[in-house]
Amino acid sequence: MRYVAVISVLAATSLLVMAGGKAPKPEAVSVEQSVLIQIEKDWNQAIIAKDYQTVDKIMANDWVGIDFKGMKVTKEETLAELKSGESSNETVELGEMTVKVYGNTAVVIGSDTEKSTYHGKDSSGRYAWMDVFVKRAGQWQVVASQSTKIGELVAEAK
């Protein structure tokens, strides 16, 4: 048993020496990941500011979403709800985001806390979401989204 402990200490020491005496650094964020995080931020700000031109540019024409109630929605339906005021975000505080880039496709997973209305009813709360982006003609656009409202019981379980 003592032998295993000594080997473990030697292995840990060797790893520290090879790393220059420093803990390993976390992976650097790529340029593409930074761009996608900024697009997420811009998209949320555009919705709050009612900047439908920016929202239209970020969302691909063939975008489809699954809302937090499990309903399929199209870009046209979403823009119409935003323009009519039937759905709106007053504030959105984005949480950390994870970005995975696979060539010309990327997946962004994140969360937010928002003050919002949906179909005229208060929908404020905390959400987990996922967006799928495709790079077309050098431009990233979101092609699919899914949002889940995090209930109180789920939040308490963490």
For residue 120, the model assigns a pLDDT of 84
Residue 19 covered by a domain? no
Q: Nearest to residue 81, comparing CAs of 32, 31, 47, 39?
A: 47
Helix (H) or strand (E) holding 74: strand 72-74
Residue 82 covered by a domain? yes
Can you read off the two tokens belonging to residue 155? 């939040």
* Greatest distance between any 2 Cα atoms in the chain: 72
What pLDDT, in 10s, does the model give residues 6-27? 333 333 333 333 344 444 344 5
DSSP symbols for 80-91: HHHHHTSSEEEE
> What range does the domain containing 138 cover?
28-157
CB 107 within 8 A of CB 132: yes
Can you read off the two tokens belonging to residue 100? 């995975």
Residue 18 covered by a domain? no
- CA–CA dist 127, 46 (Å, integer): 18
What pLDDT, in 10s, does the model give residues 84-129? 999 999 999 999 999 999 999 999 999 999 999 998 899 999 999 9
Residue 3 covered by a domain? no
Confidence of residue 151 (pLDDT cuts 50, 70, 90): confident
Residue 12 covered by a domain? no
CB 112 within 8 A of CB 125: no
Confidence of residue 158 (pLDDT cuts 50, 70, 90): low
Q: What is the CATH number of the domain that holds 43?
A: 3.10.450.50
- CA–CA dist 80, 65 (Å, integer): 14
Residue 6 covered by a domain? no
Into how many domains does the chain fold?
1
